[in-house]
Amino acid sequence: MLKIKYHVFKHLMPNEKTIKQLEQAAKEKDAFSHIAVMPDVHDKKGRKCPTGTVVATRKYIMPQVLDTAPNCGMRLIRTPWGEGSLSDKQIDTMFNELVKTVPTRTYLGNYVNFKTILDICRYGSKGLIDYLKGDESEVENTMRKGNFFNEPPGKKDLLNAVPRIFFRIAQFRLGILGEAGNHFLDLMKIDEIIDEEKAKILKLKKGQYVFLLHTGSGVFGQYNSYFFTPKKEEHLSMKIITNLGRLSFFSNIMSRSDITKLQKEVKKYRDKKEFFKIDPSSARGKAYQLAHFSGANYGFANRTMIVHNLNNSLKKVFKKRINLKTVYDIPHVFVDREKHFGQNVWVHRNGASRGFGPKRMSGHPQFEKTGEPGFLAGSMSTPSYLVCGLDSNSSTFYSINHGAGRSKKADELAPQTKEELFEKMQKNKVKLYNAKSKGVVQQASGYYKDIDEILKVNQEFKMSAPVAKLTPVAVLMA
């Protein structure tokens, strides 16, 4: 069994269930070097591997290491507003408009044509930016320039890897925040600059307002994952669509017998202790990569569409164009090919973002000086931190945790109802909007670890260096 390297303080160690899941991952023969455990580690219902885990493999991809949808991620957006620029009334007007234009629990988002969906899957953010005639500079401050493909695949290749019905549904689903409860669009204020030099490079100042956006690849990414991953669909609608995709799918990459075999294996592995593996060099592996990376690209584009709608909403409210700029966009659920400890390996990050130090970000005009930005997201009413990756962080495969993580036991004063939640948010002087999902109460600070403790872990283990402290002002939650 491989070593498990815990990047946590003793009192932040996970529960027994989480430890057993990590031990099972460490037994995998193809796993490389060690299992890296992040300070926000916690188990998640229905998942085989804990959130806050990094697993590298030599030969195989292990889809069950990852959460349901590829490219759940965050984007930090810089605004021109400084201290005193916004009144309570303006913030209220703004977010009442955003509740309408950044939907959560809905079947229909922004429609785009079929060609554009394929372009998004092939080119990532740029595929949608070209369609919207948006800000092309956005891709420079997105991980991998918003595209997981080194070489864009052909349209026919995509259609031979992903059932056509999934693409059809994706045409109607862009711009949706998501209904899981933990996705958000926050207006935050920079309360403290911790590293003046790096903040200046990133064009951030004390008192400045920023937006922090957290969302993923939606049902399109989930359909693609369910097709290749031994995980039971959580909703009846997902089960219906996934099965329709299976029944209607014909591929020139995988034979009909291989498709049938895949689906039998997927069901069989749901109850196995061992992880399901896919050989990337096989026909199945090539199809999986096309599906996974196209889903991840859709995640980049989804955040692009939300920011597009955010721009239009602000223009409507303020009667002028507000200059919003992407500081960075980075996923925290994905698999990618990287070089670590002298070997090329598949790095699976589940609830962890990439956090390359300045050396590995060589060539980027900003990040080769600062290191790769990452976000330690707190809860709805607690601070978040903008951090940057360090060259000293090899023990996590250069990764940064994506938040505080759920605590083993909820605080006794944690809200139990939405009424209690809104009361607590008001007491903390944070405006909460929408919050219609059943799970939104579980996003209160009483259910999470202390974000300041998590920051201390990052500093102690030299995982990342803090740049700025962000305090929530207004929160739009699913």
Domain boundaries of the chain, sorted by first residue: 3-477
State the pLDDT at residue 181: 67
Please state, in angstroms and rounded to a whole number, the distance separating the CA atoms of residues 24 and 48. 9
Type and span of the H or E element at 210 = strand 209-215
Query: How many residues are there in the chain?
Result: 478
Q: How far apart are CA 293 and CA 301, in angstroms?
A: 12
Q: Residue 242: what are its φ and ψ, rounded to 5°?
A: -60, -45
Residue-wise over 207-242: b if at least 16 C-beta within 10 A, else e?
A: ebbbbbbbbbbbbbbbbbbbbbbbbebeeeebeebb
pLDDT single digits (tens) 258-299: 888 888 888 888 888 899 999 999 999 999 999 999 999 999
- Which pair of structure tokens corresponds to residue 424? 């607590």
pLDDT of amino acid 241: 86
Band the pLDDT of 397: cuts 50, 70, 90: very high
Q: What is the mean pLDDT of the chain?
A: 93
The model carries a pTM of 0.95
Instruction: With a cut of 70, say whether residue 410 has pLDDT above it.
Output: yes
Average pLDDT over residues 32-40: 97
CA–CA gap between residue 48 and residue 62 (Å, rounded): 11
Fold of 3-477: tRNA-splicing ligase RtcB (3.90.1860)
Number of DSSP helices (H) and strands (E) in the chain, helices first:
14, 15
With both helix axes pointing from N to C terminus, report the angle between 114-123 and 125-132 in degrees, rounded to the nearest 10. 140
- Provide the terminal-to-terminal Cα distance of the chain, rounded to the nearest Å: 40
Please give the average per-residue pLDDT across 456-468, as a whole number: 97
Q: Which of 202-216, 250-264, 373-387 shows the lowest per-residue confidence on average (mean pLDDT)?
A: 250-264
